[in-house]
A and B are shown apart, each in its own frame.
Chain A
Amino acid sequence: MLVIKNLDVHYGKLHILKKVSLHVKKGELVVLLGSNGAGKTTLLNSISGFIKPTSGQIIFEDKVINGFSPEKLVSMGIAQVPEGRLIFKTLTVEENIILGAYHRYSIKNAKAVREDIEMVYELFPKLKDRRKQLAGILSGGEQQMLAIGRAIMSKPKLLLLDEPSMGLAPNIVKEIFLYIVKLQRDFSLTVLLVEQNARIALKIAHRGYVLETGRLILEGPAEDLFFNRDVQRAYLGRDLDAEVII
């Protein structure tokens, strides 16, 4: 579904992504691991059209999409849940959700959009209870649900998730990840997930990549990555030998 070949991205003179090649197959849940500054968000922003790559190809459903505008990409079926959720705090929950259908909103479509809102509520009942409240007063977990709900209002085929666990309590992280699995399974969404919490991400992902200082250094099934030294040391926050058993 998504194929990236030799993607190079510069911020001015800074070379952020260096010949990155990766792919996500239809229905797959792929995780991209990497420490801060490795270029993970840059990669997602390149796919969703916010950043123009210097060179390389991004191919979505057999079409090269480099340089397409974010709006165009949303209508093609790529939706991003940004890092830090970026919800509109002064709008109500429902208004935020409706904004996700902005590109297809018209009187003719009103009924379909209404149905989709109900679908989001069905998926996240907590949001339904708070539909009239301002989004700013939601808890972190609820805001994350809202950001995801808003993204799926655009009826995406490919969902890009940027650090959904950030700043959330462990039990809430678990809840959010269960929703991600549900979305991938029940709505047959294809998911590319950027995550620092490698432990939980590798549990739900099929495959993964490890990005270090702009280069991919590892690709493999999630369970193999879990046992890889680089992943263990850098992202699971432990060195097996250093672990002291008391």
Chain B
Amino acid sequence: MFWDKEKECIDREELKQLQLERLQSTIHRAYRYVPFYRKKFDDLGIDPDDISSLEDLKKLPFTTKEDLRQNYPYGLLAVPLREVVRLHASSGTTGLPTVVGYTRNDLKIWTELVARNLVAGGVTKDDVIQIAYNYGLFTGAFGLHYGAEKIGASVVPISSENPKKQIKIMQDYKTTVLACTPSYALAIAETLIDMVINPSSMSLKLGILGAEPWSEGMRREIEEKLRIKTIDTYGLSEIYGPGVAGECIYQNGLHVNDDHLFIEIVDPETLENVPDGQEGELVITTLTREAMPIIRYRTRDLTRIIPGECECGRTFLRIDRIKGRTDDLIIIKGVKVFPSQIEEILCEIQGIEPHYQIVMEKKGFVDEITVLVEASEELFFDEMRKQNELIRQIEERIKEELDIDVKVKLVEKKTLERFKGKAKRVINKEKE
């Protein structure tokens, strides 16, 4: 199913021309109206008139989260504040918040982009969609809200109420689609089990999940426990919010809304563009945003472009599911590991729940990593020997697959914190 087939299946050559036109316009507007960009270009001796191809974009400097912070709150606006009809902020997952503004047209485009992603994921106007993201400065709830309303679905703006309330509403309103973070979907699934409610007795059939990296293992876990299909969506408040990219029903990569966003993948260390298919940091340039054009934004999210075409017929580029954020990268004795990789392993092991936390500590000069995992009830009250056996098994699997030494600690079920929004997986004891 398509929301806007003509655009979503646009001929790639035609798309490239459109991207070039929009890129050139964006650069002219950024240079003309945003002192930050003007100064940056002038300092580097870049003439905006020199950009004559999409490849030329590589000549331009990156924009970082730090740039947004330094220009907090309104420094990057390309329009006077009176043209701005909405302000949002990043959820502040990592450090200080950043502010983003939207004009009326920006909101309209944002809505379109989310609508495309929802329809691609299988949402229709007959669905009842429960939006369990927090309504507030965070973009998640509003983006999905507008998109879902636009396609004509019935929107339940429940916000981040507790799981019991979510389930009650789900039952009463016959919710068919749940939109929230994967970790919260899992928390809801568990509550369902505690309440001894058979998920098949509910109308829920689809989960539109995003706002944090999650693994395929986590997906299987959620799909099994809630008996639904799940669709991964990606977005970041610096670039609209949700609606940047989303999976279609084939669940094989996230389609980027290419006609409004230009993506690149760069090596996070050398900052050179990498060939298609190779993993690196996602960099996004907005092509149509009025209030806040952003050139080459370093998302700090790691992914790759999936070569080839998707069965669904969309011609937009696909990116792989986000492997992790460069901020969450754990480096231990030179080996780089993302929490999602540990998650993937944990999901495969019997006897534990996919709730975990990674604690980093320095013991002397050595980094030590402890993975706290919740054990399933049956097991915990059993004898010590079985526990030790399980711990050894997890440690060995992690060593085998990721080549790092970690200590595993089993904790009782429901002792680790449950997150309504984005889950915090890594705790660095030195920094806190």
A residues touching B (Cβ–Cβ < 8 Å)? 3, 5-6, 18-19, 21-23, 25, 209, 212, 215-220, 224, 227-229, 241
Q: Which A residues are CB-close (under 8 A) to B104?
A: 227
CB < 8 Å neighbour of A23 from B21, B28, B51, B288: B21
B18–A217 CB distance below 8 A: no
B21–A219 CB distance below 8 A: yes
Chain A CB within 8 A of B79 CB: yes
B52–A6 CB distance below 8 A: yes
Chain A CB within 8 A of B103 CB: yes
B105–A19 CB distance below 8 A: no
Give the interface size bracket for B toward A. 20 to 34
Central interface residue in A21, A25, A228, by most chain B CB within 10 Å: A21
A23 to B20, CA, bound (A): 11
Q: Which B residues are CB-close (under 8 A) to A215?
A: 24, 28, 49
Assess A5 versus B17: contact at CB under 8 Å? Given A19-B51, A216-B28. yes
Per-position contact with A for B177-219: 1 when CB-CB < 8 Å, else 0?
Answer: 0000000000000000000000000000000000000000000
| Chain B: CB-nearest residue to A216 | B25
Within the complex, the shortest CB–CB distance from B291 to chain A, in Å, comes to 10
B29–A228 CB distance below 8 A: no
Chain A CB within 8 A of B22 CB: yes
A110 to B161, CA, bound (A): 79
Q: Which B residues are CB-close (under 8 A) to A25?
A: 14
A23–B18 CB distance below 8 A: yes
| Chain B: CB-nearest residue to A241 | B82
B290–A228 CB distance below 8 A: yes
Central interface residue in B28, B104, B288, by most chain A CB within 10 Å: B28
A116 to B2, CA, bound (A): 43
A218–B17 CB distance below 8 A: no
A229–B28 CB distance below 8 A: no
Within the complex, the shortest CB–CB distance from B218 to chain A, in Å, comes to 39
Q: Which A residues are CB-close (under 8 A) to B28?
A: 212, 215-217
CB < 8 Å neighbour of B24 from A212, A216, A227, A229: A216
A217 to B23, CA, bound (A): 9
B residues touching A (Cβ–Cβ < 8 Å)? 14, 17-18, 20-22, 24-25, 28-29, 32, 49, 51-53, 79-80, 82-83, 103-105, 108-109, 288, 290
Q: Which B residues are CB-close (under 8 A) to A220?
A: 105, 288
Using a Cβ cutoff of 8 Å, how many contacts connect chains A and B? 58
Q: Which B residues are CB-close (under 8 A) to A217?
A: 25, 28-29, 32
Q: Which A residues are CB-close (under 8 A) to B52?
A: 5-6, 19
Known A3-B17, A5-B20, A227-B104; further 8 A-B contacts with Cβ < 8 A: A18-B49, A21-B20, A209-B21, A212-B28, A216-B28, A219-B18, A219-B25, A228-B290
A236 to B146, CA, bound (A): 29
A229 to B18, CA, bound (A): 22
A21 to B104, CA, bound (A): 26
A241 to B81, CA, bound (A): 12
A84 to B9, CA, bound (A): 41
B21–A21 CB distance below 8 A: yes
Q: Which A residues are CB-close (under 8 A) to B290?
A: 228-229
Assess A216 versus B105: contact at CB under 8 Å? Given A6-B52, A19-B49, A229-B290. no
Q: Which A residues are CB-close (under 8 A) to B18?
A: 23, 219
CB < 8 Å neighbour of B25 from A218, A224, A229: A218
Assess A219 versus B22: contact at CB under 8 Å? Given A224-B105, A229-B79, A229-B83. yes
A23–B17 CB distance below 8 A: yes
| A to B CB contacts below 8 Å, 23 in the list | A18-B49, A19-B49, A19-B51, A21-B24, A23-B14, A23-B17, A23-B18, A23-B21, A216-B21, A216-B24, A216-B25, A217-B25, A217-B28, A217-B29, A218-B29, A219-B21, A219-B25, A220-B105, A220-B288, A228-B103, A228-B105, A229-B79, A229-B103
A19 to B104, CA, bound (A): 29
A22–B105 CB distance below 8 A: no
A18 to B49, CA, bound (A): 7
Q: Which A residues are CB-close (under 8 A) to B25?
A: 216-219
| Chain B: CB-nearest residue to A218 | B25
A201 to B92, CA, bound (A): 44
A224 to B105, CA, bound (A): 6
A65 to B46, CA, bound (A): 31
Q: Which B residues are CB-close (under 8 A) to A219?
A: 18, 21-22, 25, 288
A229 to B103, CA, bound (A): 9
Q: Which A residues are CB-close (under 8 A) to B49?
A: 18-19, 215
| Chain A: CB-nearest residue to B22 | A219
Within the complex, the shortest CB–CB distance from B117 to chain A, in Å, comes to 20
Within the complex, the shortest CB–CB distance from A31 to chain B, in Å, comes to 15
| Chain B: CB-nearest residue to A15 | B49
A212 to B14, CA, bound (A): 24
| Chain B: CB-nearest residue to A210 | B25
A5 to B103, CA, bound (A): 29
CB < 8 Å neighbour of A19 from B24, B79, B80, B288: B24
Q: Which B residues are CB-close (under 8 A) to A6?
A: 52-53
A25 to B21, CA, bound (A): 14
Q: Which B residues are CB-close (under 8 A) to A18?
A: 49
A22–B79 CB distance below 8 A: no
A224–B108 CB distance below 8 A: yes
Q: Which A residues are CB-close (under 8 A) to B17?
A: 3, 5, 21, 23
Within the complex, the shortest CB–CB distance from B59 to chain A, in Å, comes to 14
| Chain A: CB-nearest residue to B109 | A224
Q: Which B residues are CB-close (under 8 A) to A218?
A: 25, 29
Central interface residue in B14, B17, B288, by most chain A CB within 10 Å: B17
A209 to B82, CA, bound (A): 23
A212 to B25, CA, bound (A): 10
For the complex of A and B, 10 pairs with smallest distance between CB atoms: A6-B52, A21-B21, A217-B28, A229-B83, A224-B105, A18-B49, A215-B28, A219-B21, A21-B20, A217-B25
Q: Which A residues are CB-close (under 8 A) to B109?
A: 224
